[in-house]
């Protein structure tokens, strides 16, 4: 009997454990974002003036980098399932490039903000900005390390790669997308 053809509650893509991690991360970020919105409600002028000090173009381009990276990640998994490992590797390289571009642009933005004196203790808005985005960047870096491991496995011994490991790696990477999709509007656009 093939038990994997029918979805069960214990088998989301990538397995149960990675989804517990994903939901814990989402709830953590969600609570922090709601705290941000609450603080903005308390001091709307401060948050509006501070938000205008960020460049939405950076946030927009970084969103597109992560979305494209997520698209190539989905294609990578599709190719692995089809056992087209060379195409999977190519798509995974594009995925990693998207993540590296995200980090590059984020670094440029951080550099500019530090040069302008808009650091962690500047005001409440920038405390949230630095804490939330740095926490997200840590996830992106960890995600890239996981993707590099996946790339090395695809290169050296693709036949030994378990699909659940590849799916779990992809799920972690997509989680970085999900978190950013909530951070971007709340930090760069709304207030």
Task: Give the residues lining the site for other proteins (CB under 8 A).
Answer: 7-9, 11-13, 19, 23, 26-27, 30, 33-34, 37-38, 40-41, 48, 56-57, 59-60, 63-64, 67-68, 70-71, 73-75, 77-78, 167, 170-171, 174, 177-178, 181-182, 184-186, 188-191
Residue with tokens 């659940």: 164
Chain centroid to Cα 72, Å, comes to: 14
Smallest distance from other proteins to CB 62, Å: 10
Smallest distance from other proteins to CB 18, Å: 10
Smallest distance from other proteins to CB 75, Å: 6
What the block records as the tokens of 12 is: 């989301």
All residues at 6 or more sequence positions from 58 whose CB lies less than 8 Å from its CB, including other chains: 105, 106, 108, 109, 188
Give kind and range of the element (H or E) at residue 3.
none
Smallest distance from other proteins to CB 156, Å: 26
Q: In terms of Cα–Cα distance, which of 48, 32, 33, 30 is closest to 123? A: 48
CB closer to other proteins, 71 vs 110 = 71
CB closer to other proteins, 78 vs 119 = 78
In contact, 125 and 35? CB cutoff 8 Å: no
Give the chain's end-to-end CA distance (angstroms, integer): 55
What the block records as the tokens of 67 is: 């979305």
In contact, 144 and 99? CB cutoff 8 Å: yes
Smallest distance from other proteins to CB 189, Å: 5
CB closer to other proteins, 83 vs 120 = 83
């Amino acid at each position: 009997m093939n038990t994997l053809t029918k979805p069960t509650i214990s088998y989301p893509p990538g397995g149960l454990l990675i989804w517990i991690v994903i939901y814990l991360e989402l709830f953590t970020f969600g609570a922090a974002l709601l705290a941000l919105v609450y603080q903005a409600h308390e001091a709307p002028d401060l948050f509006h003036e501070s938000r205008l000090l960020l460049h939405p173009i950076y946030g927009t381009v970084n969103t597109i980098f992560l979305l494209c990276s997520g698209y190539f990640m989905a294609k990578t998994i599709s190719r692995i399932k089809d056992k087209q490992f060379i195409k999977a590797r190519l798509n995974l390289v594009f995925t990693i490039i998207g993540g590296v571009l995200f980090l590059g642009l984020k670094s440029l933005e951080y550099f500019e903000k530090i040069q302008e004196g808009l650091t962690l203790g500047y005001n409440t808005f920038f405390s949230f900005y630095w804490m939330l985005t740095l926490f997200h960047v840590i996830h992106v870096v960890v995600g890239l390390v996981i993707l590099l491991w996946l790339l090395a496995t695809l290169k050296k011994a693709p036949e030994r790669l378990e699909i659940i490991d590849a799916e779990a790696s992809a799920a972690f990477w997509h989680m970085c997308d999900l978190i950013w999709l909530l951070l971007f509007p709340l930090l760069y656009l709304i207030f």
